[in-house]
Amino acid sequence: MRTGGFPCRLLGCDRTFQVVDQKSMDALTAASAARSEHEVAAHSYQHVRLADERSYMSFQRAKAKQASSK
Ligand SMILES: [Zn+2]
């Protein structure tokens, strides 16, 4: 199994969009955006972002904020 990239979500398509820098949020976002762009352009597939992807991020942020305010 390949790691460090975003594979195209369409069955039968083996395109993977590598994250150039694993520690860079920008690289992660860029690879994700490139993958989504490919899915729309090549397959006319619009992925619906899961609601909990976002809420998980804000949960982590809220936790960090609480810890630093003490
Ligand atoms: Zn594809």
Residue extents of the structural domains in the chain: 5-69
Single out the residue of 54, 16, 33 nearest to residue 4, CA to CA: 16
The token pair that represents 68 in the structure block: 């630093």
Residues with CB under 5 A from ligand 1 (ion): 8, 10, 13, 15, 42
CA 69 to centroid of ligand 1, rounded, Å: 45
CA 7 to centroid of ligand 1, rounded, Å: 8
Q: What is the pLDDT of residue 4?
A: 78
Say whether pLDDT at 57 is over 80: no
Say whether pLDDT at 51 is over 90: no
Percentage, residues of the chain above pLDDT 90 = 56
Supply φ then ψ for residue 31, to 5 degrees.
-65, -40
Query: In the predicted model, what is the mean pLDDT of residues 35-63?
Result: 76
CA 44 to centroid of ligand 1, rounded, Å: 10
Single out the residue of 27, 31, 28 nearest to residue 15, CA to CA: 31
Say whether pLDDT at 61 is over 90: no
